Amino acid sequence: MIERILPVDVVAVEAFADPPDAVLLPEEEAVVAKAVDKRRREFTTVRHCARQALARLGREPVAILPGERGAPGWPDGIVGSMTHCAGYRAAVLAEDKVVTSLGIDAEPHVTLPDGVLDAVSLPDEREHLAALAAAEPGVHWDKLLFAAKESVYKTWFPLARKWLGFSDARIRLARDGTFTAELLVPGPQVNGAELRGFDGRWTTGDGLVVAAIAMV
């Protein structure tokens, strides 16, 4: 489902179950040697997806290790992003000559737990969510806002190499499947200009909400 919200230059591979033939490379094994089964399965399957995407880009299978603040390390010339949640894993990759940064996030399509929305949103974002919910009650807009913010962080981090908090970007979701993110903190220089925000897309289906940013 994620490829429908990404440009054609981005290779997307997703899985709705953990394939029995998914394996880790030795350096990756070391990372999850003491992890619980759930973590091990999501870590393995999403890397299986990422290596399939690498192959489609004509690249060799390599270990994809968590680096600074958990950001995955991609081979030279590649940008990418990964997400996993109950019943879903996805990896999206592209050549860095074509795409500057990628960020994706998938979440179960249910409302946020009590108290979380206030912690992850700005007051005006909550007003915006209320208006969207009145117009289209079938979407859990609070969870979508959360997924959009996580996709913002994953796109931001490889460019800025620093933390971005939930109140550091203002999200505007649109019912047409798009969203914008306005940075409320100074951004890094990217392609000769200050990064001010992102344009993303979202979708729902199969019990999931998925948000994706492909910054060209």
Q: Of 10-18, 123-131, 146-154, 191-199, which part binds ligand COA (CB under 6 A)?
A: 146-154
- 61 contributes a contact to ligand COA by CB under 6 A: no
Q: How far is the CB of 126 from ligand COA (least distance, A)?
A: 15
Q: Of 7-15, 64-72, 135-143, 198-206, which part binds ligand COA (CB under 6 A)?
A: 64-72
- 211 contributes a contact to ligand COA by CB under 6 A: no
- 198 contributes a contact to ligand COA by CB under 6 A: no
Q: Tell me which residues in 158-187 interact with ligand COA (CB under 6 A).
A: 164-166, 168-169
- 56 contributes a contact to ligand COA by CB under 6 A: no
Closest CA to 28 of 48, 11, 12, 13: 48
In the list 15, 46, 92, 94, the residue contacting ligand COA (rule: CB under 6 A) is: 46
In the list 25, 62, 63, 71, the residue contacting ligand COA (rule: CB under 6 A) is: 71
Contacts of 68 (CB under 8 A, 6+ apart): 161
- DSSP structure string for the chain: -GGGGS-TTSEEEEESS--TT----HHHHHHTTT--HHHHHHHHHHHHHHHHHHHHTT-------B-GGGPBPPPTTEEEEEEEETTEEEEEEEETTT-SEEEEEEEESSPPPTTHHHHHS-HHHHHHHHHHHHH-TTS-HHHHHHHHHHHHHHHHHHHH-S---TTSEEEEE-TTSEEEEEESSPPPEETTEE--EEEEEEEEETTEEEEEEEE-
Q: How many residues bind ligand COA (CB under 6 A)?
A: 23
- 28 contributes a contact to ligand COA by CB under 6 A: no
Q: How far is the CB of 22 from ligand COA (least distance, A)?
A: 13
- 141 contributes a contact to ligand COA by CB under 6 A: no
Binding site for ligand COA (CB under 6 A): 43, 46, 66, 69-72, 82-85, 105, 149-150, 152-154, 157, 164-166, 168-169
